[in-house]
Amino acid sequence: MMTLTEQHPAKKMTKTTRAVASKLASLETDARWQDVSACKGMDPTLFFGPEHPETVKEKRDREEAAKAVCDTCPVKQACLEYALEAREGYGIWGGLTELERKALLRRRAS
What would the pLDDT profile of 24-41 be if each residue is shown by its tens digit? Answer: 666 565 568 889 999 999
What's the pLDDT band for 16 if we cut at 50, 70, 90? confident
Higher pLDDT, 71 or 16: 71
Closest CA relative to residue 31, chosen from 85, 95, 78: 78
* 39: Cα separation from own chain's centroid: 13
Predicted confidence (pLDDT) per residue in 75-88, tens digit: 999 999 999 999 99
Q: Which residue has the higher pLDDT, 84 or 19?
A: 84
pLDDT at 8: 47
- Name 42's Cβ contacts closer than 8 Å, sequence gap at least 6: 69
Residue 7 has pLDDT above 60, yes or no: no
Q: According to the model, what pLDDT value does residue 22 have?
A: 67
